[in-house]
Structure 1
């Protein structure tokens, strides 16, 4: 494994895998647990983290252990989201005129759960806005908790490692061109920072809209 030359990408190189760990685990948990996750660039963050770790001598060990950490964060976040929805009863607060947290999107997720149940939870892992709404809607719809947990756990086990390893091994190819690796990492990190900032701004705008209650239909046990 070729490492980044000393000083090539200063702050990231000196920050090391610890900072990557904190960012990835935090992002994954938030994206799976609370509404703010609707506006965070989770998929691109995992790929970026993998590329960054490819530039460290011990990157292989870190990317595999981080895959495990991200899986645990996703599983825990899914459970928190489910509990939040379950405690809300069958009514979830949406936002009138909201871009993501609106009646239409909550209804779509509810319909998916009614029609496909287990499989909708499994597939939801790969759809950004559905990934965040699904746990809360599943809880509010009283989806069978065991089936939900199995499906969401399988999804987490597949999702996090695939994107992290895609970035990691892709980063290995980028290192073959000396200037390409720092350029790509710099560009992706910049996009991630801007995307996160815009996401938080959009979240504040969304939550400032007037609330409306959305009634969620219960999901049949056979779903």
Structure 2
């Protein structure tokens, strides 16, 4: 007698290619452009690790980590160049919750105080992760120094979260139903987080622009 098991299989239904495309595109967008302030990059990397663990794709998890490191470095480099050539003329919003002068100033003080290490640590702080490269570019931070910090931060951040999700989910092999719940919860959290983030982005864009120039002077 064969028992039929019905389980949620996001990787099997969407396909590994879809997982790769979603992860790589989101990592790049979050690191390169303002919309990244509203995207759940951390939860996406964790979710990718959990989903791949559910299918025993360890090699795929490591390969995805490597590819995502490249996209994270490229994304931050784009943000740096945007800041360098535009002076981070960010359209701040009056009454906003993310694109505010206070957050821009806080990110600037963080960069001024910690320099090289601010770019490394910024990987773990969602909204600073997006603003720091632009501010570093506007402040004319040495490009080689920035690139090294960018690379170190990405190497720690991306594989750290993907493989944390992968191996943490692997510990649940002895309790299959808990593992299934973890997969569903991870994917669900990412989907809901993305939808909520895009909703917040639209709401933020509807607020009036702060007319005061947001450019940080070059050093």
Structure 1 position 195 matched with structure 2 position 196: no
Task: Give the length in aligned residue pairs.
Answer: 214
Distance in 2 (CA, whole Å) between partners of 1:8 and 1:113 is: 46
Distance in 2 (CA, whole Å) between partners of 1:80 and 1:90 is: 12
Shift, 1:6, TM fit: 6.8
Question: Which of the two has greater strand per residue?
Answer: 1
Structure 2 length as normaliser, TM-score? 0.92
Q: What is residue 215 of structure 1 aligned with on the other side?
A: 215
- Contact 1:48–1:185 (CA under 8 A) maintained in structure 2: yes
Shift, 1:175, TM fit: 2.1
Q: What is residue 119 of structure 1 aligned with on the other side?
A: 117
- Contact 2:10–2:51 (CA under 8 A) maintained in structure 1: no
Structure 1 position 36 matched with structure 2 position 35: yes
Structure 1 position 205 matched with structure 2 position 203: yes
Distance in 1 (CA, whole Å) between partners of 2:187 and 2:76 is: 26
Shift, 1:10, TM fit: 3.6
Distance in 1 (CA, whole Å) between partners of 2:185 and 2:173 is: 15
Can you give the 5+ residue segments of structure 1 that lack an aligned partner in the other structure?
Answer: none
Q: What is residue 8 of structure 1 aligned with on the other side?
A: 7
For the aligned residue pairs, the C-alpha RMSD in angstroms reads 1.6
Determine helix, strand or coil for the equivalent of 2:15: helix
- Contact 1:90–1:141 (CA under 8 A) maintained in structure 2: no
Distance in 2 (CA, whole Å) between partners of 1:40 and 1:11 is: 20
Shift, 1:187, TM fit: 1.6
Q: What is residue 131 of structure 1 aligned with on the other side?
A: 129
